[in-house]
Amino acid sequence: MLFEAIILTCIKELNEERSASSIYHLLKGKKGIQTVQDAFLFRLENYYRIYPTLTRDDFERKITELERKKLIRRGKESNSFYRLTDQGHVLLKRYKMKCFYGKRFGDAANIFYSRLLLLIQTLTNRNMGNTTFLPIIDDRKIQYWIKQIYPKIKGKEKNWLKGLYQELYNLLQPFSELEKGIFVHRLTGYKRYGLSIEQLAEKFSQDRHDVILLLESVKHQMYVKVNKEKDLYPHLSFVSKNSIPAAALTESAKTTYRLLQKGYGIEQIASIRKLKINTIHDHIVELAISVPDFPIEPFVSPEEKMEIVQAIKRLNSFKLKDIKNAVPDHIDYFQIRLVLSNQNK
């Protein structure tokens, strides 16, 4: 049901302005500028990259299923656009949506969770005198983190295990029995491996997609709570320390940013880098989305910004073509995209 509710929420918020494919890209966490900008525009950033392993086939099967259940129907303008039926609206209102922090904390929460899984496996094995075990986390960065911090913990394994147990016990209290069960049975200890997603789905009689998303929601909420109340969770806050990745900019956008900071204009940067001006425009939109307090004023005047904002309000739409037709001719698509990138910041 959770997977269905998330898709229904996305369809509702997109309001027939984006295709179903945009939802797939959102949940997968596609790094393209359009997907990231849409996430903020339609207030769906919390769902960004919450399901990176989602396949196109599984997504399309779910869309077909929702249509068969008469929860959604094809849009007025195109078969690739959808809207909720009355039945879909009713179902969505009844469902208590789980909490996610995809765009803001999703990556950090997953680093935190991977560290925690490997730390628990390491502590439980070392505590029993076993130093040869197969790490459940393949990520070299996570393994390196364990090697870096373990000297600080060595000899205190029992205390750390007790501390982690108590903190996790307290942290899990607000969650449902299902959420607690999925989280706990995923953990790996000494001579005890955590269950796979398929095994968890079978054990708790849940849809596989829902298990993945429930676990993701738990991770996000745990990460946020630990970082808000560090004094209550000293061991877990240690695990979460320095887990926020650097701003998610492409290398090419970073290069453009450095040149902008040196005072170069758009045409100069395009010439220096031997790139099309439209590509530099894409980089600047990416910067406006990802860099806090990035100034758009050098590229769009206050008067032009006002024209664009008024057109958006008048049309009640984020469709670029409709906005372009509603503003003076001298305002271009690049300027519209820049203003849109600032709408929900």
Question: Could you report the per-residue pLDDT of 193-232, keeping only the tens digit for each?
Answer: 999 999 999 999 999 999 999 999 999 999 999 999 999 9
Residue 153: predicted pLDDT: 93
Which is more confident, 217 or 253?
217
First to last CA, the chain: 31
CA 214 to chain centre: 14
Fold equal for 2-94 and 252-342: yes
Structural domain boundaries in the chain = 2-94, 102-240, 252-342
d(CA 20, CA 73): 12
pLDDT of 342 reads 78
CA pair distance 48, 329, nearest whole angstrom = 34
Task: Give residue 87's pLDDT.
Answer: 96
Rounded to whole angstroms, the Cα distance separating 140 from 58 reads 29
pLDDT of residue 247: 61
Neighbouring C-beta atoms of residue 123, cutoff 10 Å: 21
Out of 44-48, 101-105, 241-245, 246-250, the most confident range is 44-48
- Tokens at residue 298, please? 């050098």
Q: pLDDT-based confidence at 34, cuts 50/70/90?
A: confident
* Whole-number pLDDT of residue 343: 73
- Is the predicted pLDDT of residue 246 greater than 80, yes or no? no
pLDDT band at 251; cut points 50, 70, 90: confident
User: What are the tens digits of pLDDT across the range 40-50?
Assistant: 889 999 999 99
- Which pLDDT score is estimated for 323? 94
| Confidence grade of residue 284 (pLDDT, cut at 50, 70, 90) | very high
CATH of domain 2-94: 1.10.10
Return d(Cα 243, Cα 141) in angstroms, integer. 11
Q: Is the pLDDT of residue 78 over 90?
A: no
CA distance 124 to 20: 45
pLDDT of res. 32: 83
The helix-helix angle for 157-172 and 208-228 (nearest 10°) equals: 110
> Does residue 292 carry a pLDDT above 90?
no
- Candidates 96, 56, 28, 53; CA nearest to 196 is 53
Question: Which pLDDT score, from 0 to 100, does residue 293 have?
Answer: 81
Range in 53-57, 191-195, 256-260, 292-296 the model is least confident about? 292-296
User: What pLDDT score was predicted for residue 344?
Assistant: 61
The position carrying tokens 């099967």 is 61
| Cα separation, 90 vs 93, whole angstroms | 5
Tokens (6 digits) for 199 = 């095994």
CATH architecture of the domain with range 252-342: Orthogonal Bundle (1.10)
Rank 34-38, 114-118, 248-252 by mean pLDDT and report only the highest. 114-118
